[in-house]
Amino acid sequence: MTDRDSQIQKIIEQTPGIQFREIMRSSGLKNGVLSHYLGKLEKNGVIKVIRGPRQSRFYPPQITEEESIVIKALRKQTPRDLLLSLIIEDGLEFSQLVKEVKKSPSTVSLYLSQLVEDGLVETKFVSLKKRYHIKARDLIDKLIEDYRPGLLEKPTSGFEDIFNSF
């Protein structure tokens, strides 16, 4: 394994769910060079690539599909804020979540739908009111514990401090 292989592998292990451009910035490698090394690492089973519409995310090989879904949500600001709000106070209504994350109702609706579809959040009707609940609490807690500070490094602000206060 070359120094570049090791460098790229280390970046991915420290920040699972990282995207191509982020690896390019962190490594200082050019597009073509990075593509070559990522292809080689994937082929050799050193990294795992999960390709989605318009984006690929890179993970250490031991990350499960379920874990990759949580990591992807935690790496984006609004889904992370929604999950955090529900971890702090489970069973919030839509309007409360909009207020908590300080985003437009349409933005909250979009990300909340994705979190429900991904199985991280579920809805329950309580007294005829729709409430949102964390579904993957143990897994979310485990991943934050396992990958802190890597997972919660740059893209997060204050998130780790809130979890440390529990």
What is the per-residue DSSP string for 29-51?
Answer: --HHHHHHHHHHHHHTTSSEEEE
Structure confidence at residue 148 (pLDDT): 61
Cα 76–chain centre separation? 6
Delimiting residues of CATH 1.10.10.10 domain(s) in the chain: 3-62, 68-160
Backbone dihedral region for residue 158 (phi beyond 0: left; psi -120 to 50: alpha; all else: beta): left
Closest CA to 69 of 78, 86, 57: 57
Mean residue pLDDT across the chain: 85
* Predicted structure pTM score: 0.76
- Which architecture characterizes domain 68-160 according to CATH? Orthogonal Bundle (1.10)
Indicate if the pLDDT at residue 86 is higher than 50: yes
Q: Among the CATH numbers 1.10.3720.10, 1.10.10.10, 3.30.70.141, 3.30.70.20, which is that of 3-62?
A: 1.10.10.10
